[in-house]
Every structure is written in structure tokens, then in C-alpha cells.
Amino acid sequence: MSNKVILIVLDGLNYPVARDCMGYLNGLLEQQRATLYSIQCELPSMSRPLYECILTGVRPVDSGIVNNHIVRLSNHQSIFSLAKQQGKTTAAAAYHWVSELYNRAPYDAVRDRFTHDESLNIQHGCFYHWDHYPDEALFLDAEHLRLTHQPDFLLVHPMNIDDLGHKYGVDSRQYRNSARHADIILSHYIDGWLAADYQVIVTSDHGMNNDLSHGGILPEEREVPMFVIGNQFSHHSADTQKPIEVKQTEICGLICQLLNLEHNKPYTPELLAL
């Protein structure tokens, strides 16, 4: 088995808002074309530590990326590094902290915003450093990378949901509407991605609270969604008699399996079709 994978990390999206507000993804769920799992994010419930967790499978307390202000390369093998070493093509349209973790730190916008270098872990990148960079633009950046470079692994990482959560809180129309907006954008792309033989995962790093922040253990900060879409997933539902418990540290290994990479990352075999 060898597949291509698109990982979408909708920054700051919590589980209840994903479940209630994203009508297109829910339409796929109703037709059994997607499955939604609930994940407790690792701690602290902050962005940079959890980018590292999602992309390497290593918890913040073990990776050393324990807050947003640690600006250095990751010390661990990531989906990007494993894929590049094994001859795959990697790409990301993502916040600049992702470039700092896997390509070069600190980020230099003039040098790094548009990256094309086969020797880097993320070979094709479009990185941004504005929290209000429009999600529409970010998805267009990602689609441009996909159509131009046909990456085996593509990370798509928009920031508007998190940005509006920091401005208005988790219990706000602005936060919920930003999730609805991301759902509409996704509806433009997902059919085309599936037709191009990508497996698609939509998840989040952490949730949001009503103090316009996140970082702790409140359920609204910690419970995040993981939608899986594609024919290589088992689509065993999370609410059958034996619910499958998915850990955020296992997303990396799941994607490595899908990409047919040699790796030693943990993953949940039950999530994959036989």
C-alpha cells in the first residue's frame, strides 16, 4: 500500500464546533464517506508544541517544544523528514513555525516564505506569518503546491479559526462562523483530492476557551476532531460498541503507514482498511 496524504490542521478548532458547524464534512459522515474521531490533545494545549506532536508523534514534554517561544529545529524524525529520506515529495502551506521546526530556524520571510529546495524536509513550501492571513488564500497556496509539485504528503494549515477564537472566544458567532467558513472552503477541494488518490485527514492542534486563549486542560481547549476521508481508512466508527481511542501522538504514525514509509512511530492499526 502506498498512498498520498493531505493533512489539514485547522488551527484552534475544538471538537463540538467541528461536529456542530461543519455541514459539508457532516454530509460526508452521514453517507459513510468520512469518519469523525474525538481526540484529547496533548499538553500544553498550544500551537507549536502540538505541531511538533502531530508531525513527529512526540509529546511536548518529551520533544522539548513546550511553549510557542521555543524557536529551533525539531530533534525528531517527522513525517516530512521520513518522507524526504525515502524518496517522497513533501509540501506545506502553513504558518511559519512549521518551517522553523522542519526546515530552517529562525524564519526569514524573504528567504523562506516561498521555499523550493529538494534538500529540505519540506521541499515545497508556502509559509505565512500573519494570524489573519485569509484561509481562502492559504488553501489556494496549498492547491497550487499540489498541482505544481504533486507531493506525496501535503500539509494544509490555516489560522483564521484560532485567530477569531483569540479575538472573540470559543462561545462566539465569529469563532463558529470561521469554522463554517473553513468547511465551505474544504467543500471546494475534497472531491478533487480524492479523485487524485489522496487520503485526507482534517484535524486540529488544540481547541479554545472563553478567556480568548488556550493552553490548559479545559475540555473546550483539549477536545479536537479528526475526520478521516478516503478508501484506505477502515471507517470503523468511534461510537460503535468498542470505540476506537485515537491519540494525537498516533496521527504521525498513521500517515507514515498510509505513505508506506519505514518508521517506528506509534499508530492505531484499526483506523486503516486491511
Q: Identify which of residues 141 and 162 has a Cβ nearer to Zn ion in the complex.
A: 162
* Amino acid type, 222: R
Contact call for residues 166 and 273 (beta carbons, < 8 A): no
Candidates 75-83, 154-162, 193-201, 233-241 — which segment interacts with Zn ion by CB under 5 A? 154-162
> In Å, how far are 191, 211, 229 from 7, measured between CA atoms?
15, 29, 11
Please identify the residue of the shown chain whose CB is closest to the bound Zn ion: 162
Region of 4-12, 133-141, 178-186, 241-249 interacting with Zn ion (CB under 5 A): 4-12
Q: How far is the CB of 161 from Zn ion (least distance, A)?
A: 9
Structural contact between residues 60 and 43, judged by C-beta atoms closer than 8 angstroms: yes
Other CB atoms within 10 A of residue 29 CB: 18
The length of the chain is: 274
Closer of 107 and 175 to Zn ion (Cβ): 175
Residues touching Zn ion, count (CB under 5 A): 2
Minimum distance between the CB of residue 220 and Zn ion, rounded to whole angstroms? 13
Nearest-approach distance from CB 237 to Zn ion, in angstroms = 30
Minimum Å gap between C-beta 15 and Zn ion is 16
Stretch that binds Zn ion, among 11-19, 33-41, 103-111, 217-225 (CB under 5 A): 11-19
Residue choice 42, 141, 162, 250 for contact with Zn ion (CB under 5 A): 162
| Contacting range for Zn ion; rule: CB under 5 A; set: 5-13, 126-134, 175-183, 251-259 | 5-13
- Whose Cβ is closer to Zn ion: residue 13's or residue 120's? 13
Nearer to Zn ion, 160 or 268 (CB): 160
Stretch that binds Zn ion, among 134-142, 158-166, 181-189, 223-231 (CB under 5 A): 158-166
Minimum separation from the CB atom of position 159 to Zn ion (A): 8
Nearer to Zn ion, 157 or 265 (CB): 157
223 lies in the site for Zn ion, by CB under 5 A: no
Footprint of Zn ion (CB under 5 A): 12, 162
